[in-house]
């Protein structure tokens, strides 16, 4: 037995607020009845401001991986080229999926320390004079590396090349925590999940769909059934779904949208930026290095911290879990055991952040990781000096 609560400070799934847990703690209703239609219509309407879109949003009972697949199969044909950019593990996994599904990804290599270089996107599109590339797929905030890419610059690159490719963006760890402007940035397909900024348990995923993407879906697309946007539209117009929905998660989504609206998206984004800045102040005081090289690409939903030479991130995480009952994110793939990741997104406040950073600092002392003391104190000062 452990006293107190577990600190879940991985960058998703995030802590589920009691309000959402209580909202989910009720019996299911008839998913073909009028009460459900009211629920469904409200959700599909109120998701749009979170995506900052006037277009369609669809909901799947799935992880974000499902929404990746839906984004691809609804607009692409087998053999189509897709331009993708390596910013970390999740951009890599999306590329691997494209290969498995029979598409032809052109993968611009990255070093896992920098975001999307829009100039390289522009160069690749300029060379594609036959317009064989049908989509540009990028990750807004790569959860494995804590890197946030400039999506507006990608839009400018596509338009500057006068290329007709669709733009698809993964916002799984940024929606509801980092400003994302679907319509203003001309994003054609957005991929999102429930378990991060939306504060829900895993199990729901989303696509936001532009008119251009919807036209591509109707004109062709790959073989599809469960993921078919076309099957969604008529039931969704009445508040229903073409399958048995995840009703209790939808109850939770209703509460999450009310919470985000009640706080206001601008305030939500400012809160995440403030906690991220305080975390970065702590890392700097510890004398450690943030994985993301460029300050303007450092994520406001998580911070990936490089371990000192000769030190393993997994050993530190294990020491912190054992000593303080706190879970931090592990390093994945190319940065396995080289980093640890601090999640600071979702239902999160100052005291939770200070508990997290204190746990990291105490864990480094306990594990014998070389660092300078005072990181938690630096974060505390930042929070005191930057009230909102």
**For position 72, what pLDDT does the model report?**
98
- 11 domain residue, yes or no: no
Q: Which of 262, 290, 314 corresponds to the end of one domain? A: 262
pLDDT of residue 132: 98
* Same domain, residue pair 199 and 302: no
Rounded CA-CA distance 299/273 in Å is 8
Residues 233 and 371 in one domain: no
Predicted local distance difference test score (pLDDT) of residue 1: 79
The answer to the question of residue 7 being in a domain is: no
**How many independent structural domains does the chain possess?**
2
Q: Which residues contact 103 (CB under 8 A, 6 or more apart)?
A: 72, 76, 78, 79, 80, 81, 82
Q: Are residues 90 and 46 in the same domain?
A: yes
Residues 6+ apart with CB under 8 A from 92: 86, 333
Q: Is there a domain that residue 6 lies in?
A: no
Residues 51 and 108 in one domain: yes
End of a domain among 206, 240, 262?
A: 262
CATH number at 381 reads: 3.90.1150.10
**pTM score:** 0.97
Does 172 share its domain with 132?
yes
Residues 289, 219 within the same domain: no
pLDDT of residue 2: 87
Those residues of the chain that have pLDDT short of 50 are none
Say yes or no: 156 and 302 in one domain: no
CA dihedral 288, 292, 296, 297 (to 10 degrees): -150
Q: Quick check: bond before 81 cis, omega within 30?
A: no
Residue 178 shares a structural domain with residue 240: yes
Is 90 within the bounds of a domain? yes
Do residue 217 and residue 328 come from a single domain?
A: no
Distance between CA atoms of residues 68 and 86, nearest Å: 16
Residues 107 and 174 in one domain: yes
Q: Which of 262, 287, 308 is the last residue of a domain?
A: 262
Write out the residue range of the structural domain in which residue 98 sits.
18-262
């Amino acid at each position: 037995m452990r006293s107190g609560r577990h600190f879940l400070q991985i960058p998703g799934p995030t802590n589920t607020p009691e309000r959402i847990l209580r909202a989910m703690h009720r019996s299911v209703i008839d998913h073909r009845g009028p009460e459900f239609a009211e629920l469904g219509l409200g959700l599909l309407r109120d998701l749009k401001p979170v995506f900052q879109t006037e277009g369609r949003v669809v909901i799947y009972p799935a992880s974000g991986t499902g929404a990746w697949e839906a984004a691809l199969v609804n607009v692409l044909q087998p053999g189509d080229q897709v331009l993708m950019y390596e910013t970390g593990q999740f951009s890599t996994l999306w590329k691997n999926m494209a290969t498995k599904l029979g598409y032809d990804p052109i993968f611009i290599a990255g070093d896992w320390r920098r975001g999307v270089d829009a100039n390289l996107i522009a160069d690749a599109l300029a060379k594609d004079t036959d317009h064989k590339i049908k989509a540009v797929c990028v990750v807004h905030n790569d959860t494995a590396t804590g890197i946030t890419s400039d999506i507006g610059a990608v839009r400018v690159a596509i338009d500057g090349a006068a290329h007709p490719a669709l733009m698809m963006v993964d916002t799984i760890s940024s929606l509801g925590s980092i400003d994302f402007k679907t319509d203003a940035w001309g994003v054609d397909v957005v991929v999102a999940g429930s378990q991060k900024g939306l504060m829900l348990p895993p199990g729901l995923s989303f696509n936001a769909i532009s008119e251009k993407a919807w036209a591509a879906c109707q004109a062709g697309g790959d073989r599809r059934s469960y993921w078919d946007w076309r099957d969604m539209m008529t039931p969704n117009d009445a508040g229903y779904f073409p399958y048995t929905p995840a009703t209790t998660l939808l109850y939770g989504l209703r509460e999450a949208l009310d919470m985000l609206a009640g706080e206001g998206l601008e305030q939500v984004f400012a809160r995440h930026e403030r906690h991220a800045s305080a975390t970065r102040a702590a890392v700097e005081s510890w004398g450690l290095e943030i994985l993301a090289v460029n300050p303007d690409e450092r994520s406001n939903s998580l911070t990936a911290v490089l371990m000192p030479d000769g030190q393993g991130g997994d050993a530190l995480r294990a020491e912190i879990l054992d000593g303080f009952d706190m879970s931090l994110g592990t390093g994945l793939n190319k940065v396995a055991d080289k980093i640890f990741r601090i999640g600071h997104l979702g239902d999160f406040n100052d005291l939770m952040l200070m508990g997290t950073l204190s746990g990291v600092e105490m864990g480094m002392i306990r594990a014998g990781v070389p660092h300078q003391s005072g990181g938690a104190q630096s974060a505390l000062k930042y929070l005191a000096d930057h009230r909102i």
